[in-house]
Amino acid sequence: MPAHRATAPAPAAQPGRALKALWYDGLSSRGRRVLVMIEPAAGGPQLVIEPLDAAGDGLCLAHRQVQWPQTYGRGTAQNRLTVALGEHGTLEVQSAAQWHEAYNRAGGKRKVAERLQLGWKLLLGFTAASVLLLVLFFRYGTPMVATQLARFVPIGWELEISQQALAQLDGRAFKSSSLPAARQLALRQRFEAMLADIPEPLRRYRGYQPVWRLEFRASELIGANALAFPGGVMVLTDDMVALADKHKLGDDALLGVLAHEIGHIVHRHSSRALIEQTVLNAVLSMALSDVSGWVALASTSLTTLAYSRAHEREADCFSMALMRHQKMDTRPLAKLFAAVTETPMPTSQGQAGRKSGAGWDWLSTHPDSGMRIADFQSGQAMQCDLRTGRLR
């Protein structure tokens, strides 16, 4: 409870310390003439009110009991000031400048928002630091959080999602494969042999045991392609097999494609992508709550594309690492990839072929095709740790 003071002769006003004010205590519609003093105290400046009339007691309020007004600029420094006192009413101070001067002299500290509005350099620095922290969080923090949280996603949930997704595609985009049964069997046997020889350093999540299954489908919609579903289900299209046969690349090229898809599953990219999207939406909804929905949508889309490209690069790294471990040549995979993307092969060692419009790859879900082909052509990439099959 605030301490009340007995009525006493009003003290002489001390320059810069006692301020003239009107006190509306809520008991009367008329303001009482008072002297106000702001004094140092342990928990922050306290407010002392001494009535200039003979009726009633004075008042002493702790720092937390006063809603200390902020200063927003010099243009309002000489205006009258209204100070809320909670259940004790309000004060109307004649000079805002003297009030703030007395508050500062008593050890009062400005709030962060007030300091930012008074100093454009501080505001600019604070804004730049906030943007930098947000960018670093999206670039490194969100993927790191998603990578760790993915280990807690049940494989049963992944498999259920995969079954539902495959069933929907079978009814719309996929048709039964026309590959001969013997051809499918031969590729499955090579696929199973590859799975049996994945070294421990390439297994991202200890104890994670996907239920591997290779499916073959025909599809006019996606053409020469391969898909990886969470939990271990993979699809290879007839057109991809036909394209490898057309260019006489052998099954090593197709095994390289499957190694890339195995990388998506081993690194749990589908689960990580879902977590990344959830975190991204939550943070952007808070950071951009007062910004146009189009800005928020653009920010979410571009960041999601960046995560997708990182997952593709990581699957490339896994493919290179696994093929190197199993002593498989990655050059046929580079040629198959060039045929799929219609990208020229590198003209010399380390020089990537370029696809028209490659400068817009930052708007794509996949990294630059020419650079990826060059990496597979050489069997290594600067961004890859080929011991673990991860991005450096």
pLDDT of 235-257, one tens digit each?
Answer: 999 999 999 999 999 999 999 99
Question: What pLDDT is stored for residue 176 in this prediction?
Answer: 96
Question: What pLDDT is stored for residue 113 in this prediction?
Answer: 59
Token pair of 291, please? 């910004």
Q: pLDDT band at residue 233, thresholds of 50, 70 and 90?
A: very high
CB atoms within 10 A of CB 336: 25
3-state SS assignment for residue 87:
helix
Q: How far is residue 268's CA from residue 161's CA, in Å, rounded to a whole number?
A: 13
**Cβ distance 315 to 260 under 8 Å?**
yes
**Cβ distance 353 to 345 under 8 Å?**
yes
Domain spans of the chain, in order of start = 19-108, 129-344+360-391
Give percent of the chain with pLDDT exceeding 70: 78
Q: For the residues 141-146, what does the mean pLDDT come to? A: 88
pLDDT digits (tens, 9 = 90+) for 264-315: 999 999 999 888 888 767 766 665 554 444 444 444 444 456 778 899 999 9
Q: How far is residue 322's CA from residue 331's CA, in Å, rounded to a whole number?
A: 14
Put simply, whether the predicted model's pTM sits higher than 0.85 gets the answer no
Token pair of 324, please? 């190197």
3-state SS assignment for residue 144:
helix
Query: 112 or 50, which is more confident?
Result: 50
**Look-up of token digits 């239920």:** 211
pLDDT digits (tens, 9 = 90+) for 332-388: 999 999 999 988 887 655 455 544 444 445 445 677 889 999 999 999 999 999 999
CB atoms within 10 A of CB 195: 16
253 CB-side CA count, 13 A: 25
CA angle at 279 for the pair 278 and 281, rounded to the nearest 5°: 65
pLDDT digits (tens, 9 = 90+) for 69-126: 876 555 445 578 889 998 999 999 988 888 888 888 888 877 665 555 555 666 677 6
Question: What pLDDT is stored for residue 365 in this prediction?
Answer: 62
Class of domain 19-108: mainly beta
Given a cut of 80, whether residue 210 has pLDDT beyond it is yes
Query: What integer best gives the mean pLDDT of the chain?
Result: 83
Extended strands (E) in the chain: 3-5, 18-24, 32-39, 46-51, 58-61, 81-84, 90-93, 175-176, 213-218, 226-228, 233-237, 384-385, 390-391
